Amino acid sequence: MLRFPNAKINLGLNIVEKRSDGFHNIETIFYPIPLTDGLEIADSNKETIYNFSSSGIPIKIDDKDNIVCKAFDLLYRKYNIPSTNIHLHKNIPFGAGLGGGSSDAAFMIKMLNEKYKLELSFDEMKNLAGQLGSDCPFFIANKPVFAEGKGDVFSEILIDLSGYHILLVKPNIHISTPEAYSSVTPSQPNKSLKELITEPIQNWKNLIFNDFENSIFPNHPKLENIKNDLYNMGAVYASMSGSGSSLFGIFKEEPMCPEIWSEYFCWKSRL
């Protein structure tokens, strides 16, 4: 069985308040995009619980710490799942705010449910995914949502960017979660993203922002330069996704990836 777990972008991200548990309440909009990994599972005749292999972007962690293997193990402990061969072709860059790992894990749950006829309901799969990460449940339905709380409380939202083009850029910059939150001042927005996203897309530039840019851009001016470049290239909306370090522009016409970004991960597609 072969599936293609896709990435997401954040359309706006407001850090609303710090919680008593040390996390932050946010509001954002998750929007799926057609940048994908490849995930394959097959029967195994070995005695091990699973056999994991990977290709594409190197994965520099032990198999047991890989979220795909954690997803398999979660279901293995709950249901009668036989030994399985798992292969992940990694194409979605790490540390990019694109949810690639979360998508891989959610797709693993859906694939195991289908292959081994576990008959899990949609809500049961979402609950299992939620044990692996805040944004994992998003990829079970894989439709645009308004997310709040820790980014794990979803409500459906009507937004359709089909017909537009996206250009995604990730330079060789790593941003840790503590760094991303280091200079952020939580605040209640004057208007919720849920309301602002209904404005025409040409108005988003002056209405919809990612609060992480305030703390990250001063330390990494290259990222701010890329965002400005995307607008100079004709993007109707540009932003950093999540806590970075990828940036995206949404265009009416197909954009080109400039030669100056040849050393970066650069991807474009029609939405």
Active site residues: 8, 135
Q: Which of 18, 13, 25 is nearest to 150 (CA)?
A: 25
Whether residue 250 contacts residue 165, with contact meaning beta carbons closer than 8 Å, is answered with yes
Residue 12 corresponds to which tokens in the numbers above? 């706006």
Instruction: Specify the amino acid at residue 148.
Output: E
3-state secondary structure of 270: strand
Q: Which of 194, 99, 91, 214 is nearest to 148 (CA)?
A: 194
Q: Which of 94, 93, 97 is nearest to 26 (CA)?
A: 97
Tell me the C-alpha distance between 19 and 26, whole Å.
10
Q: Which of 104, 116, 119, 128 is nearest to 8 (CA)?
A: 104
Q: What kind and span of H or E run contains 213?
A: helix 212-216
Q: What kind and span of H or E run contains 206?
A: none
Tell me the C-alpha distance between 6 and 135, whole Å.
13
Neighbouring CB atoms inside 10 A of 127's CB total 13
